Amino acid sequence: MLLPTTEMLPEGEAIDRLSADQAAAFFVRGQRLAVEAIGQAAPEIARGAQAMAAAIRSGGSLVYAAAGSSGLMALADACELPGTFGIPAETIQIHMAGGVPADGRMPGDTEDDTEAADVIGRGVSAGDVVIVLSASGTTPFALAVAEVVKSKGSVLIAIASNRGSPLLELADIPICLQTPPEVIAGSTRLGAGTAQKAALNLMSSLMGIALGHVYQGQMVNVVADNTKLINRAVGIIAGISNVSEAAARMALDRSGGDTKAAILVAAGVTLKDAKALLSAHIGHLEPCFNSLKPNQDIKV
């Protein structure tokens, strides 16, 4: 019996029998349906985000594990977290079956490597959140990792596209993305991969919000380590604190590149008080500003 992720579309919908324009439109429709599949999993995605935020607050790690194209989706999400939200890189682990490819080779047999799970498990503790992905929910590497981290007491978030699959059954937070059959049968880098990427985007962004790294819809914990991001941070500071870009740049320099602290400094708070406020309010800017309003004439 075929799993939903490997089912074939009716013969009349075979993408290679369509014109190029028709095939493109059909493919776009498949991608749209794949993204829509994450709507039903929104409550579980939100739970996953809260678990991730709790792990970061308590000094735990975020551990991503997957094989093949699922591993590439995990890699993309994990690598964006330090720059976008200022999540310390040392709190992120990425485990891809066979290792992260340095070229175009990604051998398929690595997804059967169950022995690697024991090695991964040695670096996982009870305070961590482990995110394991497998489109089918049956990949041996993913299942082995899931079983090992469960024995460590870590919170296991599983993402798969087949309801009732073994991986989802193991999870503390199962996220089922019921994507339709692929436009190219069994090629789960397509619809299932798109749904995985969208779900990871949503979950990690909700985590960033929970940690206070988003304020007024802006990424206020951005790591400004290149010209583009320095300019972006300056714009964020200037807009939120209602100061000139020159003043915002001075505040960013005085704060050592700490965008959140610079926002408060630009609003008239000393750097020492800015850091104390952020510590007291666990990194959330809104309560920092609210605590200042009765006491001083701030600029926001």
Closest CA to 283 of 215, 201, 206: 215
Closest CA to 7 of 187, 193, 197, 198: 187
Q: What is the dihedral of CA 254, 258, 261, 265, to 10 degrees?
A: 30
Task: Spell out a b/e string for 76-91, using b for 16 or more CB atoms within 10 Å of the CB, else e.
Answer: ebbeebbbbbbbeeeb
The full length of the chain comes to 300
Closest CA to 282 of 227, 221, 226: 221
CA distance linking residue 160 with residue 246, whole number of Å: 48
The 3-class secondary structure across 238-264, one letter per residue, is HHHHCCCHHHHHHHHHHCCCCHHHHHH
Residue 139 structure tokens:
């990949």
Angle at 183 between CA 180 and CA 187, to 5 degrees: 90
Contacts (Cβ under 8 Å, ≥6 apart) of 172: 51, 155, 156, 157
CA distance linking residue 113 with residue 152, whole number of Å: 20
CA distance linking residue 208 with residue 283, whole number of Å: 11
Per annotation, catalytic residue among 13, 36, 44, 111: 111
Does the active-site annotation cover 286? no
Per annotation, catalytic residue among 13, 80, 182, 245: 80
How many CA atoms are closer than 13 Å to the CA of 117, on its beta-carbon side?
23
Does the active-site annotation cover 90? no
Residue 93 phi/psi, 5-degree rounding, is -120, 140
Which residues are annotated as catalytic? Answer: 80, 111
